[in-house]
Chain A
Amino acid sequence: MKFILEDLWQIEKRFGYLPRRELESLAEKHGKPLAEIFSVASFYSLFSVDNPPKHFIGVCTCPSCIANGALEILHAFEEELGVSINSDEGDIRLLKLQCQGRCDKAPVVVIDGVYYEKVRLENIEKLIEKCR
């Protein structure tokens, strides 16, 4: 599975999401059923198996980040951007993320693959500019 994750990362980086035809050739290459590749790909919220947004902003909502204000940050993003979580509309997709393994730097926000740690409400506007 380790190799599949590597490959998935390469595809995600290249296309910004996981196109179906790429996963089909990946299945062929590894001799695995497509459903199994999809199972892995859809498990991780940093992979996008649906239509590609131009940007995506992920906010970790696991206990440590929530304890440090992740939900307030998530809602601030919602309000500032005018999008709802996981919505398919627009250029930006806002996501709730599972634990990113950086609990000591909570709360964590990921924008287009770049990590921002110990995020405060007052940073939000600056972060949104990264997507403009």
Chain B
Amino acid sequence: MPKAIIDGREIEFEEGETILEAALRNGINIPHLCFNKRLGVKGRCRQCIVEADGRIVASCTTRLREGMHIITDNEKIREYRKINLDLLKSRINTSQILEDEEILEYLEEEGLFEEKLLSLPIDNSSPAIVRNPNICILCGRCVAMCNEQTVGAINYAYRSINTVIIPAFMDEINNTVCSTCGQCTLVCPTGAIREKEDIDRVMEALNDKDKHVIIQTAPSIRASLGELFGLPPGTLVTGKMVTALRLLGFDMVFDTDLGADLTTFEEAHELWHRINNNGVLPMTTSCCPAWIKFMEHFYPDLAPHVSTCKSPHEMFGAIAKSYYARLRGIDPSRIVVVSAMPCTAKKFEAQRQELINDGYRNVDYVLTTREIARMIKKKGIDFNSLEESEFDKPLGISSGAGAIYGATGGVTESVLRTLVWIAGEELGKIEYREVRGMEGVREAEIRIKDKNIKICIVHGLGNARKIMEKVRNKQAEYHFIEVMACPGGCIGGGGQPKSNDINILRKRAMALYTQDKKLKIRKAHENPIVRRIYDEFLEKPLSEKAHKYLHTSYIDRAPKI
């Protein structure tokens, strides 16, 4: 292997590796703003400049050569970095940058240049994300991310001093093909794109003594919330999370895992019904709202392929305001359902007109993992020293099948566990390791009775597009396709702690599989509450009542040219 010297240390590197990559790999930190491991090189921010054999170069764009001599930090480099940074920030309104943003550590000193602050309109149009172009340093990570998702809702526009990152024709983001997946919010270093905060509206509900405020927590956030309190990635904080939510004043703390069990139960029946009655196949999952919006924009002709099941938290909300309301004798108008989700798209989903039953929205407000952490911190709760406690009954009982929903492949595995039971096989397998993993597109074939069930699992909208093209061209000979818009599934969701590092995603997924293993009930259909809800309320899977409360419909958002 060729060698080079970085800060006096001899370092081996691979042919073609850049200075920045080799340095980071060896634990030498070079400041960088626009570079992101997964999104690649842009060479815009010029913070990663180093001295290479006496010349100042950008370390993200310069490849190492044999015997190269690199200095990553000296007075001259620091001075140049400062000038570059000052140029970057000379037009942004730093007072509008909120807490916890990556760029803050760069902004301590005063700038050298006269500030010519931007004053462009803030785009509040989307229920999921907010764009504030006035604090955008044009690093381009969001554009790269949006293009990687093959959505392309935003791009650079205009030129030179007038350059902005914005939708075509300066449209509001809500009028574009934006899937609301929120991956851009994970990579933006300044918070120029952030989730739309719903904390105030939730607090208002909590302060209203007349309201019965329920919070339900998504499978994946218990595996990531701890990171925002300094715990290592992959720490399960279920018990502390429940305690913290109670301290925040929620009347009931329930588990979306139950909603996931309901989804599994309905969806497995729907799949089995389609397979045995010449229904439209392949059937795709429907629990990811960003995927649904993407489908409605780009593949509305394929909507019959999409399962009509609502997503888990919407099913949960529908049950909370019907079955649970009756059970507890609470008028549904007094119930407020808040969802703690890893997701920005769920905010969009909660506002869909299709997700209303008996005149009530299934879900009223959605908070992301980041907002939950913000609320806990604002309240002054010392999260790490909290006692653990359990979800409230009865809607807090769930199975391992619900727990693994948060990782790519999880929905498939849960559906398989129940599908085998529906097919009448005595001893169904529990773990289907063949559907786990982080590959963007995975295929598996599972034999159930006399049938070979062909499965495809994709995550990341770019991969979803590849498979949907196949479906459109009738080249996809699958029975079941699981689609998650975010890389890694919900554990990598747009509302999660900011990171798109694949190793962190793996640890979060591992935590969910460990939780599944520890649970006694690991199949959705064995969840006693699921059984009770059907016995006492929904009658049977795919019944008229089940359709009313647990299924939904889609609309066509394709441009009409």
Binding site for B on A (CB under 8 A): 20-21, 23-25, 28, 32-39, 42-45, 49, 98
Contact B151 A33 (CB under 8 A): yes
Q: Which residue of B lies closest to A28 (CB)?
A: B561
Alpha-carbon distance A43/B160, docked complex (angstroms): 9
CB distance from B336 to the nearest CB of A (A): 37
Alpha-carbon distance A20/B176, docked complex (angstroms): 13
B152's partner among A23, A36, A98 (CB-CB below 8 A) is: A36
Contacts known (A24-B561, A33-B147, A33-B152); A43 close to B158, Cβ less than 8 A: yes
What are 29 A-B residue pairs whose CB atoms fall within 8 Å in the complex? Answer: A24-B561, A25-B561, A32-B152, A33-B147, A33-B151, A33-B153, A33-B155, A33-B168, A33-B177, A34-B168, A34-B177, A35-B153, A35-B157, A35-B166, A35-B167, A35-B168, A35-B176, A38-B157, A38-B168, A39-B155, A39-B157, A42-B157, A42-B159, A43-B158, A43-B159, A45-B159, A49-B169, A98-B159, A98-B160
Cβ–Cβ < 8 Å partners of A25 in chain B: 561
Binding site for A on B (CB under 8 A): 147, 151-160, 166-169, 176-177, 559, 561
Alpha-carbon distance A45/B163, docked complex (angstroms): 13
Alpha-carbon distance A32/B147, docked complex (angstroms): 10
Q: Which residue of A lies closest to B168 (CB)?
A: A38
Interface centre among B154, B155, B159, B166 (most CB of A within 10 A): B155
Q: Which residue of B lies closest to A38 (CB)?
A: B168
Cβ–Cβ < 8 Å partners of B168 in chain A: 23, 33-35, 37-39
**Beyond A34-B177, A35-B166, A35-B168, 11 additional pairs, beta carbon < 8 A:** A33-B152, A34-B176, A35-B157, A35-B167, A37-B168, A38-B155, A38-B157, A39-B157, A39-B168, A43-B158, A45-B159
Q: Which residue of B lies closest to A49 (CB)?
A: B169
Cβ–Cβ < 8 Å partners of B159 in chain A: 42-45, 98
Cβ–Cβ < 8 Å partners of B147 in chain A: 33, 36
Secondary structure at the A interface, as helix, strand, loop or mixed, is: helix
Contact B559 A24 (CB under 8 A): yes
Alpha-carbon distance A23/B171, docked complex (angstroms): 14
CB distance from B167 to the nearest CB of A (A): 6
CB distance from B472 to the nearest CB of A (A): 14
Cβ–Cβ < 8 Å partners of A23 in chain B: 168
Cβ–Cβ < 8 Å partners of B166 in chain A: 35
Interface centre among A20, A36, A39, A44 (most CB of B within 10 A): A39
Cβ–Cβ < 8 Å partners of A35 in chain B: 152-155, 157, 166-168, 176
Cβ–Cβ < 8 Å partners of A21 in chain B: 561
Alpha-carbon distance A45/B176, docked complex (angstroms): 24
Contacts known (A21-B561, A24-B559); A36 close to B169, Cβ less than 8 A: no
Cβ–Cβ < 8 Å partners of A43 in chain B: 156-159
CB distance from B214 to the nearest CB of A (A): 39
Alpha-carbon distance A33/B152, docked complex (angstroms): 5
Cβ–Cβ < 8 Å partners of A34 in chain B: 152, 168, 176-177
Alpha-carbon distance A91/B471, docked complex (angstroms): 51
Cβ–Cβ < 8 Å partners of A45 in chain B: 159
Contact A38 B160 (CB under 8 A): no
Alpha-carbon distance A10/B158, docked complex (angstroms): 20
Alpha-carbon distance A38/B168, docked complex (angstroms): 5
CB distance from B258 to the nearest CB of A (A): 39
